[in-house]
Amino acid sequence: MKQPLLSIVNDHVSDYPSPSNLNYFWSFGSIAGICLVVQIATGIFLAMHYTPHVDLAFASVEHIMRDVEGGWFLRYMHANGASMFFIVVYLHMFRGLYYGSYAQPRELLWCIGVVILLLMIITAFIGYVLPWGQMSFWGATVITSLASAIPVVGDSIVTWLWGGFSIDNATLNRFFSLHYLLPFIIAGASVVHLAALHQYGSNNPLGTNSAVDKLSLYPYFYVKDLVAWVVFAMVFSIFVYFYPNTLGHPDNYIPANPMSTPAHIVPEWYFLWVYAILRSIPNKLGGVAAIALVFISLLLLPFMNTSPIRSSNFRPLYKRLYWLLVADVVMLSWLGQQPVEDPYITLGQLGSVYFFIYFLVCIPLLGRVEHALLTYKTSNTTMSY
């Protein structure tokens, strides 16, 4: 095609060559793109009716729910869409971990994905503050106060974040501005993510070189993706229409009250595993350092990997450690909503230790162990002949 725009669509969408053995787990990338579009679209319309002022924010959200035509639908789409977005992105990342999609030559692709996850977490956190309910206010108080643990500049950072000496109108205003801006930065990062993907092509379930066995995206994988989109739309609709508040916290329907602290402050469910790691360390600075180490570990993963074999289908030891990691993250998410008392503290510390052992010890060593075992087995087999 001679038209520049149509040729881009043709080369990178309809005729884009994909490995012939891709399964449904490769649909989560496109579903994540749909989620981002839904969040930006609903967010723009919600911003038309929202008022970023401490005296009016809660009332403006109720105004959207009760008085604006279709406002309830927009808000439930946006609130549940955030949860759906994180579910899809977590599945997308765990698929990458299982099939070794982070391995050479796709290091940049993985690192950009981790940056997108970090931007999503920041965006979702400041968005959770905007309804100005009890959990919004106190969640913001707890999380922003963590910056005070940073030596020398910590208190100045907190004051800058708050726009004063406490969370007030300036805080809400700047959080609203950032919440409106960051999704467009995520969209830009997603385009870079796609560009990095198309540089070397998609990985595949076998983890082998599939350069000689590819099919065009349309019509072969378009149909497979369409099935995944329909299933996703059905699940999303069930939450929006029948269980809109299941994934939220009831305390956020109480207006923010700086004079009344909730008995148990918890973040949204998709932050719970990080929150569990944070609070498993009794020292505030240590907790902040642990959170930083989580994302550093994820960023360094492609460079610490020592195995030439990508897919877990051919790595039985790695597969066991991988499913232990999945169970560990699920356990941490459960622990993150429990009271800060034993045995939850001890379990959280054990779960945090395994999380870091997996990335910082198992990943670098396992490739060498597998190579040694394979060499030993091959030499024994040769000697037997």
Q: Which residues are catalytic?
A: 198, 202, 224-225, 268
Cα angle value 155/159/161 (rounded, 5°): 115
Q: For 18, which DSSP code?
A: E
Residues 257 and 304: their CA atoms lie apart, in Å, by: 47
**Residue 223, amino acid:** V
Contacts of residue 313, Cβ cutoff 8 Å, sequence gap at least 6: 205, 206, 207, 319
Residue 159 and residue 275 in contact, taking contact as beta carbons nearer than 8 Å: no
**Residue 89, amino acid:** V
Return phi, psi of residue 35, to 5°: -60, -40
Residues 260 and 378: their CA atoms lie apart, in Å, by: 68
Q: At what angle do helices 344-357 and 272-279 cross, to 10 degrees?
A: 100
CA 257 to each of CA 132, 150, 159: distance values in angstroms, whole numbers, following the listed order: 9, 28, 20
Contacts of residue 319, Cβ cutoff 8 Å, sequence gap at least 6: 312, 313
Residues 97 and 253: their CA atoms lie apart, in Å, by: 38
Residues 138 and 144: their CA atoms lie apart, in Å, by: 10
